[in-house]
Structure 1
């Protein structure tokens, strides 16, 4: 529906405000339910784990590499290209020593089915030049051979019996040993030479701090926005702006929880960017609404809001469309390292454009915004000053 004003067509946006409210409520309920039931699938930045960068002598077959990593028993392994088609980033939610324990247990089961790896101590006492100790049950000292603990991976070792168990001190840790072993496995199964470029570990404690500080950052951002809009416009406007931002953030987070897409620091950065994008669009609309409330002498609040939204529609449409074009290109051609970032912004831009119309402006209607709310208060004694 639309109406005419000064020869220009005015779209009746607020005519659909009740169905729009119902749609927003449904989206929020689904998002909150997904967050409560599934939760966010936190990536390596938040959970902690290992990250290895390798270079292949031939173009890497990513699906094949992912299959190899799953066979090796790594925890939620991820393999993505970065830089070129021969550079591969391998990430796993767990230390490389976890894969090392899996590989060692497999060799142990093949060689000595009755034996068992009891424990791994990464800081043994009286270790000398050794970095860790491995405790086995069901083994004798003579069973600890290069076939069980390949020297090419573990370096030198020393075995000794302690209380019906065998303790083996090794020169290289499971992390170091398994990283080397994994490279050999990749070389053997891909037929390409593999060179280790970098290996690092992100601790879960750091991840927890990043998660908590990121969440606190979003809350602080919403509080500052509310104060700014209340001072710049009026309290009802600040409520509309903050509800729109909360609406956008919850839906984006719910989208990632519903489809169990990895949530890492790049996605968190995208969520914060969505707050800025949505707020910018909302402020433009609010500024035009305030201006029209002071200029338009006739018409209801809905008429003023419809006229303001119509006047800013072209700007909103062009800005959102050009932004989405860039984000879609990043999502399609940017590679997996930034796919989550691009996807979060795509969802955020779409939802943010919608919320600038049907959440922020709708809130003004539900709070019964009127022209008097935007008029400056009269000074005391002003009537006396105007008397001759």
Structure 2
């Protein structure tokens, strides 16, 4: 199935400066939100306790807040969760006395607010949350490092640098959106970010593969022309793949419930940004890094020549002539 005419070559690189400018604006805005507003860490990373409560009728959030303000749980965050009957109470810090069941305590404290049941109690200590946060950052850093090594071996080093820059571009903008909309950052969000790394890298590798093939088969000597040709050939595939994934993730975001809301939101933003960067940004970085088509072809020709010489020597050895 083709959305775009594969025979037509679009001038992506001729417009790379405006697209790079747009990306620069998005990156600056994302960094601004991350440094000023920060991330809304959930209990997985910040430590604390979550109590999920379901009422028989609409949850009296104001009354719950007033009751809790007279207890040791003063200042707890109370938000609607999925339906008007259900709320989540987020308590900073964990219970100092593990012998006490927080679920039982909540039953006693909130008894005057109506008929309800405690559906879930999650507790993470501050030390454990800090360790999870450190390991999450380490996992992200190691992923980028391994990707850099992999792409360096598979392609030329400029391809690796361009792909890492594109991935950093995607992650930063996605994190900026998470900060802007105060999405709670937990292990699900970390999983979504790592998923986006793989998704965006896959798209970028396909584009770079086609660029490498284009360099070897095309008569063009300008990288911009080869990139335009290569990206145009993969445009239908990239668009169809992204749209298919996008519709699934939007469905999860709309109907999946509050539990996977943050995960789905991160994927929605990431797919949009990842598709945009695969088409307009990744190859633009390659052009900006002054990749030389002529030098690459010379290296490939020299590599092919040495390979043929080795095969010739092996054949002579097998025949006993060496």
Question: TM over 0.5: same fold?
Answer: yes
Specify the alignment match of 1:112 in structure 2: none
The 10-residue stretch of structure 1 (45-54 or 317-326) with the greater mean CA deviation from structure 2: 45-54
Specify the alignment match of 2:90 in structure 1: 92
After superposition, the Cα gap between the structure-2 partners of 1:246 and 1:96, relative to the gap in structure 1 and judged at 3 Å, is closer
Aligned residue for 1:8, secondary structure, equals coil
Specify the alignment match of 2:315 in structure 1: none
Residue in structure 1 matching 2:296, options 361, 370, 373: 373
Residue in structure 1 matching 2:65, options 70, 78, 81: 70
Q: Deviations over 1:37-85 (max 9, x none)?
A: 11111112212222234454x3x53xx344344333342223424xxx7
Contact persistence 2:27–2:173 (CA under 8 A): yes
Once residues 208 and 89 of structure 1 are traced to their aligned partners in structure 2, the CA distance between those partners, rounded to angstroms, is 26
Contact persistence 1:77–1:93 (CA under 8 A): no
- 1:323: Cα distance to partner? 1.0
Q: Which structure exhibits the higher relative contact order, with contacts defined as CA atoms closer than 8 Å and separated by 6 or more residues?
A: 2
Specify the alignment match of 2:9 in structure 1: 10
Aligned residue for 1:9, secondary structure, equals coil
Specify the alignment match of 1:37 in structure 2: 36
Size of the aligned set, in residue pairs, is 296
Contact persistence 1:50–1:199 (CA under 8 A): yes
Specify the alignment match of 2:113 in structure 1: 186
Once residues 293 and 319 of structure 1 are traced to their aligned partners in structure 2, the CA distance between those partners, rounded to angstroms, is 25
- 1:380: Cα distance to partner? 12
Bigger helix fraction: 2
TM-score, normalization: structure 2? 0.82
Specify the alignment match of 2:247 in structure 1: 325
Once residues 271 and 253 of structure 1 are traced to their aligned partners in structure 2, the CA distance between those partners, rounded to angstroms, is 9
After superposition, the Cα gap between the structure-2 partners of 1:19 and 1:197, relative to the gap in structure 1 and judged at 3 Å, is closer
After superposition, the Cα gap between the structure-2 partners of 1:122 and 1:334, relative to the gap in structure 1 and judged at 3 Å, is closer
Contact persistence 1:34–1:258 (CA under 8 A): yes
- 1:89: Cα distance to partner? 6.2
Contact persistence 2:170–2:277 (CA under 8 A): yes
Contact persistence 1:79–1:91 (CA under 8 A): no
Aligned residue for 1:77, secondary structure, equals strand
Contact persistence 1:96–1:179 (CA under 8 A): no
Q: CA RMSD in A?
A: 2.8
Aligned residue for 2:259, secondary structure, equals coil
Once residues 283 and 91 of structure 1 are traced to their aligned partners in structure 2, the CA distance between those partners, rounded to angstroms, is 44
Is 1:203 aligned with 2:198? no
Once residues 257 and 304 of structure 2 are traced to their aligned partners in structure 1, the CA distance between those partners, rounded to angstroms, is 64
- 1:209: Cα distance to partner? 0.9
Q: How does 1:300-311 map onto structure 2 within 5 Å?
A: 300-311=222-233
Contact persistence 2:49–2:122 (CA under 8 A): yes
Specify the alignment match of 1:143 in structure 2: none
Q: Deviations over 1:151-187 (max 9, x none)?
A: xxxxxxxxxxxxxxxxxxxxxx594663122441332
Once residues 346 and 301 of structure 1 are traced to their aligned partners in structure 2, the CA distance between those partners, rounded to angstroms, is 32
Q: How does 1:287-298 map onto structure 2 within 5 Å?
A: 287-298=209-220
Aligned residue for 1:10, secondary structure, equals coil
**Runs ≥4 residues deviating over 6 A:** 379-382
Contact persistence 1:51–1:89 (CA under 8 A): no
- 1:212: Cα distance to partner? 0.9
Q: Deviations over 1:63-119 (max 9, x none)?
A: x344344333342223424xxx7994634132586xxxxxxxxxxxxxxxxxxxxxx
Q: Give 1 or 2 for the bigger CA radius of gyration.
A: 1
Residue in structure 1 matching 2:274, options 352, 358, 364: 352
Q: Deviations over 1:318-355 (max 9, x none)?
A: 11111111111111111111111111111111111111
The 10-residue stretch of structure 1 (225-234 or 29-38) with the greater mean CA deviation from structure 2: 29-38
Q: Structure 2: 5+ residue runs without aligned partners?
A: 70-74, 313-322
TM-score, normalization: structure 1? 0.69
Q: Structure 1: 5+ residue runs without aligned partners?
A: 98-120, 124-130, 132-172, 188-192
- 1:202: Cα distance to partner? 1.5
- 1:28: Cα distance to partner? 1.0
Q: Deviations over 1:134-154 (max 9, x none)?
A: xxxxxxxxxxxxxxxxxxxxx
Specify the alignment match of 1:226 in structure 2: 148
